[in-house]
Structure 1
Amino acid sequence: MTSLPSFADPEIQKCPFPFYDRLREEQPVFHDPETGHYVLTRYDDVRKALLSPAVLSNRTPFLGDRWSPEANQMFAKEGWLPMDTLVSNDPPDHRIYRTLVDKVFTPAKVAALEPRIMAIIAELIDGFADREEIDFVEEFAVPLPMYVIAEQLGVRREDRVIFKRWSDAGVETTGPVTPERQLELAAVLIEMQRYMAHEIERVRAAPNGMLLSRLVNLDTDGRQLTNQELQSLILQILVAGNETTTTTLASGMRLMIERPELAEALHDDPSLAKAMGEEALRTASPLQCLWRKALADVQFGDVTIPADSIVEMRFGAANRDPAQFGCPAEVDLHRKNANSHLAFGAGIHMCIGNQLARGELRLGFQALTQRFTNFRLSRGEDSCRPLEGYTPYGLRQLWMAFDKR
Structure 2
Amino acid sequence: MTDRKPAPLSISFADPEVQQCPFPAYDRLRTEQPVYIDPKTGNYVLTRYEDVRKVALNPKLFSNRTGLIQTRNTTPITQKMFAEKGWLPLDTLVSNDPPSHKLYRTLVDKAFTANKILALEPRIEEICDALIDQFIDQDEIDFVQAFGIALPMTMIAEQLGVGPEHMADYKVWSDLSVESTSPALTPEREIATTEGIIRMQNYFAERADYFRAHPDDDKLFSRLLHAEVDGRRLANREVMSILQQLLVAGNETTTAALSAGMKLLIENPDLVPQLRERPDLIKTFVEETLRLMAPIQALFRKVLADTEIGGITVPAGAMVEIRWGSANLDPAVYENPGCLNLSRGNASSHMSFGAGIHLCIGNQLARGELRVAFARLIDRMDNFRASRGADSYGYAPMFISYAVTQLWMTFDRR
Deviations 1:88-115 (A, max 9, x none): 1111111110111112122211101111
1:196: Cα distance to partner? Answer: 1.1
- The 1-side partners of 2:382 and 2:151 are apart by 20
Q: CA–CA distance in 2 between the matches of 1:325 and 1:131?
A: 39
Task: In structure 2, give the amino acid aligned to 1:96.
Answer: L
C-alpha contact 2:266 2:385 (8 A) present in aligned 1: yes
1:392 to 388, 401, 412: 401
Q: 1:311 aligns with which of 320, 323, 334?
A: 320
CA offsets 1:335-394 (integer angstroms, 9 cap, x no match): 100000001100011111111111111111111011111100111221111121222212
Corresponding residue number in structure 1 for 2:412: 403
Q: Name the counterpart of 2:208.
A: 200
Would you say how many aligned residue pairs link Structure 1 and Structure 2? 405
**1:274 paired residue among 278, 283, 292:** 283
Shift of residue 4 of structure 1?
Answer: 4.2
Q: CA–CA distance in 2 between the matches of 1:34 and 1:121? A: 42
Q: Counterparts in 2 of 1:242-261, with a 5 A limit? A: 242-261=251-270
| 1:35 maps to amino acid | T
**Structure 2 matches for 1:82-121, cutoff 5 A?**
82-121=89-128
Deviations 1:292-349 (A, max 9, x none): 0100012112112111111110111100001101110000112100000001100011
2:373 to 364, 367, 377: 364
SS in 2 for 1:260: coil
> TM-score scaled by structure 2?
0.95
Amino acid in structure 1 at the alignment position of 2:119: A
Quote how far apart the aligned CAs of 1:2 are: 8.0
Residue 192 (structure 2) aligned to one of 176, 184, 189:
184
SS at match of 2:216: coil
| Residue number in structure 1 paired with 2:150 | 143
Residue by residue, what CA displacement relative to the aligned partner does 1:221-240 show, whole Å, maximum 9, x if unpaired? Answer: 31321111111111111111
| Structure 1 contact 64–87 (Cα < 8 Å) conserved | no
Find the aligned partners of 1:9 and 1:173 in 2 and give their Cα distance: 16
Structure 1: distance between partners of 2:115 and 2:220: 13
* 1:43–1:319 CA contact under 8 A, matched in 2: yes
Is 1:51–1:347's contact at 8 Å kept on the other side of the alignment?
yes
* 8 Å contact kept, 1:383–1:399: yes
- In structure 2, the residue matched to 1:59 is 65
Please give the per-residue CA displacement for 1:108-164, whole angstroms capped at 9, x wherever unaligned. 111011111111111101111110010000000001000000000000123211111
Partner of 1:17: 23
Q: Distance in 2 between matches of 1:87 and 1:107?
A: 20
Contact 1:134–1:400 (8 Å) recurs in 2: yes
What is the identity, as a one-letter code, of the residue corresponding to 1:326? E
Letter in 2 for 1:304: T
Query: Superposed, which structure 2 residues align to 1:126-165 within 5 Å?
Result: 126-165=133-172
Residue 71 of structure 1, aligned match among 62, 78, 84: 78
Partner of 1:299: 308
Segment drifting more, 334-343 vs 192-201? 192-201
Q: 1:231 and 1:16 mapped to 2: Cα distance? A: 32
Note the C-alpha offset of 1:21. Answer: 1.5
1:43-54 to structure 2, matched below 5 A, reads 43-54=49-60
Partner letter of residue 72 of structure 1?
Answer: Q
Q: Distance in 1 between matches of 2:229 and 2:88?
A: 21
Do the aligned partners of 1:14 and 1:386 also contact (CA within 8 Å) in 2? Answer: yes
Query: Judging changes above 3 Å, is the alpha-carbon distance between structure 1 residues 32 and 2 closer, same or farther for their aligned structure 2 residues?
Result: closer
Q: Is 2:332 the counterpart of 1:326?
A: no
Tell me if the contact between 1:64 and 1:88 (Cα under 8 Å) persists in the aligned partners: yes
CA distance in 1, matches of 2:413, 2:121: 24
What is the identity, as a one-letter code, of the residue corresponding to 1:298?
T
Q: Which amino acid aligns with 1:173?
A: S
Task: Indicate which of 350, 358, 373 corresponds to 2:382.
Answer: 373
- What amino acid does structure 1 have at the position aligned with 2:100? D
Aligned to 2:3: none
Q: Does structure 1 retain, via aligned residues, the 8 Å contact 2:111–2:223?
A: yes
Q: Deviations 1:280-301 (Å, cap 9, x if unpaired)?
A: 1100111111110100012112
Other structure's SS at 2:372 match: helix
Q: CA deviation at 1:64?
A: 2.5
Other-structure match for 2:352: 343
Root mean square deviation, CA, Å: 1.3
The alpha-carbon deviation at position 191 of structure 1 amounts to: 1.2
> How much identity, in percent, do the aligned residues show?
54
1:290 aligns with 2:274: no
**Change in CA separation of 1:2 and 1:35 when aligned onto 2, cut-off 3 Å:** closer
CA contact (8 A) 2:266 2:384 kept: yes
Q: Would the aligned equivalents of 1:68 and 1:179 in 2 still touch at CA under 8 Å?
A: no
Post-superposition shift, 1:80?
A: 1.5
Secondary structure of 2:270 counterpart: helix
Distance (whole Å) between structure 2 residues aligned to residue 158 and residue 116 of structure 1 = 20
Segments of structure 1 that go 5 or more residues without pairing to the other structure are none
